[in-house]
Amino acid sequence: MSLAAGAGADLLDIAEEVAEAVHEGRPVVALESSNIPQGPAYPANLEMAVAIDKAVRDAGAVPARIGLLDGRILVGMTDDHLERFATTPDAPKVSTRDMGVVLAAGGPGGTTVSASLMGAELAGLSVFAVAGIGGVHRDAPQSFDISADLAQFTRSRLAVVCAGAKSMLHPALTLEWLETAGVPVIGYRCDDFPAYLSVSSGVRNPHRLDDLGDIAAAAVTHWAVGGSGSVLVTHPIAEADGIPSSDIEQALADAALLAERDGVSGPAITPYLLKAIAAATEGRTTAANRAVLLSTASLAGRFAVEMTAALGSTGGRAR
């Protein structure tokens, strides 16, 4: 890994702990920040962020949460940063489209997957963790609603550890988009593409590997032969923590009708549907969301250890 390589690096504020880890070749896991101001009410959102960071540390890696503050891209947040984000519920969600505008204005911004990948790559990081990625929405044939996450996966060379795509998305169309874009999707010890809060989306992963070292080697090789984008590593929520997909599907069908009635679309649709699912499942999504956030962060920490070894064996040539 190389520290702060590339255009835009002068906008980075890299936490000392993260900078030292990158310099010494130790494993680091990048994280998004939009789930803090957009998550549960304070102080639950702060407690969750701290727990995620701990899960990464306990797995042997350094957490590097990405966010925008005072015209700078934070890579790694202090306790004061976390407190500020947790107590600013009106901080906007920032995707790649919004980065320049929010940075120039100097306001705070919680970075989504796509924007976090931009910051992580500028800082020379190789592993990113998120519970659920964005993807192709179910009404995309009419609305053209496709997450910026997918486009960013074609631009940023990171291994993205996730529990599949968010539950309200179309898994088959999402995987089809990724295939067309040449983005590898590898299931870690799972045949099916996960569905965030559910174990399975009912669609198969293109590849399955059962050893994290083998997945790291596959990612490094993908980059070495000219692969220009991300590699997705999927692993589901534990079955005991998940919500049956049938329950999710019924809640989504009902919520979609309400969203159409209320004229909700675009970036507002995801939080709208998530709240509807939470209400329909009597709050079970809160516990499931916490469980999958922690399990994904822990897995990413362990995977970052393997990625660091794999990149070290190539002398960083894959990057």
Residues tagged active-site: 32, 166
The two three-digit tokens of residue 5, written as one number: 């390589």
Dihedral angle sign, alpha carbons of residues 243, 244, 245, 248? negative
145 is in an annotated binding site: yes
Beta-carbon neighbour count of residue 275 at 10 Å? 12
Q: Which amino acid is at 37?
A: P
Q: By three-state DSSP, how is residue 7 classified?
A: coil
Distance (Å, rounded) from C-alpha 124 to C-alpha 319? 9
Nearest Cα neighbor of 153 from 199, 209, 94, 113 is 113
Q: Residue 202's CB: how many other CB atoms inside 10 A?
A: 12
* 10 annotated as belonging to a binding site for a ligand: no
Alpha helices in the chain, H assignment, sequence order: 16-23, 44-58, 79-86, 99-105, 113-122, 140-143, 148-153, 171-181, 212-224, 245-262, 269-280, 284-313
Was 113 annotated as part of a binding site?
A: yes
φ, ψ (nearest 5 deg) of residue 99: -55, -55
Closest to 296 measured CA to CA, from 255, 237, 250, 227: 237
Q: Is 147 annotated as a binding residue?
A: yes
> Would the annotation count 149 as a binding residue?
yes
C-alpha 27, offset from chain centre: 17
- How is residue 186 written in tokens? 């590898």
Binding site for Mn(2+), by residue number, is 145
Binding site, by residue number, is 93, 113, 145, 147-149
